[in-house]
Amino acid sequence: MLDTNPTAPVAPSRWRRFACMMYESVLLFGVVFLAGYLFDTLTQSRDGLMLRHGRQAFLFCAIGVYFLACWRRGGQTLPMKTWNIRLTDRGGRPLAGGRLALRYLLLWPIPLAAALLVAGLSHLSGWASLDLLIITAPFFHFIWTWFDPQGQFLHDRLLGTELHDLGRRTHD
């Protein structure tokens, strides 16, 4: 007898999301490099600290354009395609521009708070080498996944969006 139950999407495992984030960081290096080069060319800045806040705002926007452009076309960046992960709303439908922009904005508070924590620990301890722990800041997103019933990130839970593992499905 054939199974006629539709299949429900499953959240990707933490390992798959971690691998996807690592791949994403490699691509973001290129995005940041090119955007930084464009910024330096347009502003004629010769030092990384020259126009520092303007540079940070420009890079924030450049990274946002990268994510929004990728998510708008099929809900996937190249690493998400590689790891068979798709971003949708809770009904499995693609997301619109405003919601995508809000998701991008909500990605930032947790890593920024983690970076502030690292800076505080470094300052309080007097060990400047603790600043190297800044590389762990983006992975603080995973803490929420242990508490979420579907294993989703906090920003996805707040927005009603989901990451789906396209390779696995469960029966309803």
Residue 151 inside a domain? The answer is yes
Find the domain containing 147 and state its range.
7-171
Q: What are the pLDDT digits (tens) for 76-92?
A: 999 999 999 999 999 88
Q: What rounded mean pLDDT belongs to the chain?
A: 90
Q: What are the pLDDT digits (tens) for 20-42?
A: 999 999 999 999 999 999 999 99
Q: Which residues pair with 152 in a beta bridge?
A: none
Residue with tokens 């947790």: 110
Overall number of domains in the chain: 1
pLDDT at 1 over 50: no
CA angle 33, 17, 13 (to 5 degrees): 175
The order of strands in the sheet holding 85-89 is: 7-10, 161-171, 85-89
pLDDT band at 49 (very low <50, low <70, confident <90, very high): confident
Residue 2 inside a domain? The answer is no
| pTM given for the model | 0.85
Residue 1 inside a domain? The answer is no
